[in-house]
Amino acid sequence: MNWIQKSPELLFIHLVLVAISAVAIYNGATYNPSDSQINLGVVEDKLHKIEVDFSPFSQLAQYVTQTVSWIRPENNRHRLFISRKMEWQPKEGTLRVYDATKAGADGISPAWKEQYGFSTSDPTVAAADPDKDGFSNKEEYEAKTDPTSDKEHPDRKLKLRLVSFDTKPYIVRFNSTNEMSGELFFQINLENPLPGEKKSQTLKKGASFGSWNIVDYRKKEGEKIVGGTPMKTDISELDIQNKETQKVVTLVFREKKDIPIVTGKLLYSVTNTEMPIELGKPVTLDFDNNTQWIVTELSSSGATLTKSDKSNTQITVPKQ
């Protein structure tokens, strides 16, 4: 009889069915078609004479009258007599238990909306910016900041976007070496010098041109085939290093090397301010004049700015 303890409502249904069956059996046994009228006294007399054995149901009666204690499940997720609200998830095409602390379809939880006095049914809440600080409610929700105060907002660097990207050639040729007064000098030729640069410069180790320092030289010889005959040739190498990014480029004797100049523009969307940038050059952001950043990476897909101190803090700026 364990089923009775598990499902007492089934016992009630069975008892009702038994009662209905008993009445039907009695009516069938006492019905007389020749009777034109029902003698209620005779029916009552016959009813008292019917003997019904209820002994098989004695155990059922005992379980019905027994007091049962409700026990809360161990997972503590269900509550007795409290209907759990379900909500439809259109993106997943599923139903889930409603939880006010979890983000809804617009990316914000109902509990957070109620905390700051927003409507839980208004579809425009996520995109709104009630404190006019340039950040939407959804951005404030994700950053755990107060959407009603312009003094508290997400990191402003999140509003940076790369809006333009361009490259132009900067062709360098390590043309010759010359020893003077015991020091070695290197002739550098620029095919397309920047404004203010000389097309040909003679520099020693430690000197610089444009954004580059001369840092190392290695004397090397190799072979090349001239008219079918192998001949010795100078393949010496000269290392130059970018002053800001510390990137090293190797120039080979009398070979051209294109070190493209990469430029772009950053947009700070809160104030619609554009800031020109160049790979390897410093930049000061519109909203933070006290910090200098170096453009350490720049491509058509985005930019990386590195703080010009020992912290190596970086910002990744995506393309708009």
| Residues forming a β-bridge with 177 | 186
Does 31 score more than 60 pLDDT? Answer: no
> What are the pLDDT digits (tens) for 157-173?
999 999 999 999 999 99
Q: How confident is the model at residue 39 (pLDDT cuts 50, 70, 90)?
A: low
Residue with the bigger pLDDT between 24 and 30: it is 24
144: left (phi over 0), alpha (psi -120 to 50) or beta: left
Q: How confident is the model at residue 40 (pLDDT cuts 50, 70, 90)?
A: low
pLDDT for residue 102: 86
CA dist., res. 38 & res. 277, Å (int):
107
pLDDT for residue 294: 92
Q: Is the pTM of this model over 0.75?
A: no
CA dist., res. 186 & res. 190, Å (int):
13
- Among 279, 312, 311, which residue's Cα sits nearest to residue 295? 279
| Residues forming a β-bridge with 316 | 304
Q: What is the mean pLDDT of the chain?
A: 82
Query: 6: which DSSP letter?
Result: H
Structure-token match 């910016």, residue found: 129
What residue segments make up the domains of the chain, in order of their start?
2-31+40-65, 86-154, 171-257, 261-318
CA dist., res. 185 & res. 202, Å (int):
6
Highest mean pLDDT among 2-6, 93-97, 238-242, 311-315: 238-242
Percentage with pLDDT > 70 across the chain: 74
pLDDT for residue 99: 82
- Among 304, 306, 276, which residue's Cα sits nearest to residue 294? 306
CA pseudo-torsion sign 151, 155, 157, 161? negative
Does 36 score more than 50 pLDDT? Answer: no
CA dist., res. 215 & res. 204, Å (int):
9
| Residues forming a β-bridge with 162 | 266, 319
Percentage with pLDDT > 90 across the chain: 48
The Cβ of residue 156 has, within 10 Å, a number of other Cβ atoms equal to 17
Contact 196, 177 (CB under 8 A): no
> What are the pLDDT digits (tens) for 223-268?
878 778 888 899 999 999 998 888 999 999 999 999 999 999 999 9
CA dist., res. 208 & res. 175, Å (int):
16
pLDDT for residue 108: 93
pLDDT for residue 219: 94
3-state secondary structure of 170: coil
pLDDT for residue 103: 87
> What are the pLDDT digits (tens) for 74-131?
555 555 555 567 666 676 777 777 788 888 888 999 999 999 999 988 989 999 999 9
